[in-house]
């Protein structure tokens, strides 16, 4: 006998020291903070406890964005459009939804972060990226 069904497993997780600071900055200051490695000068977003490039732990907190450049994007029939964006001042890319995919969206289009009107220290405090009209790099 086979019985079909779904199992609901609610859970909570700790965002950690760096993740919590990143989420609180989104909620309280509408700021996107990243880590700049003092060893290799790479800027990684979101905030980290170690450098993903060299493994160093001598990091400074810096603000990046709110503008950025689309590196890649996709559109799905069910989930909408998503973009991989290099925020201004960052060396790594950040994935989030596109609020409105511009007609003819392409790599190099400029976008900016749109924050949610109600924020609660979640990645969803970023509503998504919206196009900056007339600007491409």
Instruction: Give tens-digit pLDDT for 23-52.
Output: 999 999 999 999 999 999 999 999 999 999
The predicted model scores a pTM of 0.85
For the chain, the residue count is: 137
Answer positive or negative: Cα dihedral of 54, 56, 60, 64: positive
* Bridge partner list, 100: none
Residue 78 lies in a domain: yes
Which whole number is the average pLDDT over 81-104? 90
| Structural domain boundaries, residue 63 | 16-136
pLDDT at 135: 54
Residue 53 lies in a domain: yes
Residue 88 lies in a domain: yes
Residue 56 lies in a domain: yes
Residue 6 lies in a domain: no
Residue 38 lies in a domain: yes
Instruction: Indicate the number of domains in the chain.
Output: 1
> Residue 34's closest CA among 106, 85, 71, 81?
85
Which whole number is the average pLDDT over 84-106? 89
Segments in the chain forming alpha helices (H): 16-29
> Residue 32's closest CA among 84, 117, 90?
90
* Residue 95: pLDDT over 60: yes
Residue 30 lies in a domain: yes
- State how far the alpha carbon of 110 is from the alpha carbons of 17, 19, 38, 107, 113, in Å: 31, 26, 28, 9, 10
* Residue 117: pLDDT over 80: yes
What gap in Å lies between CA 81 and CA 73, rounded to an integer?
7
Which whole number is the average pLDDT over 55-71? 97
Residue 11 lies in a domain: no
The arrangement of strands across the sheet holding 67-76 comes to: 94-97, 80-87, 67-76, 109-115, 126-136
Which whole number is the average pLDDT over 105-123? 93
* Bridge partner list, 98: 129
């Amino acid at each position: 006998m086979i019985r079909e069904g779904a199992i609901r497993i609610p859970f909570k997780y700790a965002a950690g020291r760096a993740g919590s600071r990143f989420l609180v900055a989104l909620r309280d200051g509408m700021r996107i903070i990243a880590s700049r490695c003092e060893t290799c000068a790479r800027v990684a977003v979101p905030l980290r406890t170690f450098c993903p490039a060299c493994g160093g732990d001598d990091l400074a907190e810096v603000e990046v964005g709110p503008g950025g450049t689309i590196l890649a994007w996709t559109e799905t029939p069910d989930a909408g459009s998503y973009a991989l964006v290099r925020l201004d001042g960052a060396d790594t890319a950040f994935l989030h939804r596109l609020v409105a995919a511009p007609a003819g969206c392409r790599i190099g289009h400029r976008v900016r972060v749109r924050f949610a009107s109600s924020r609660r220290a979640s990645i969803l405090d970023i509503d998504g990226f919206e196009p900056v009209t007339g600007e491409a790099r």
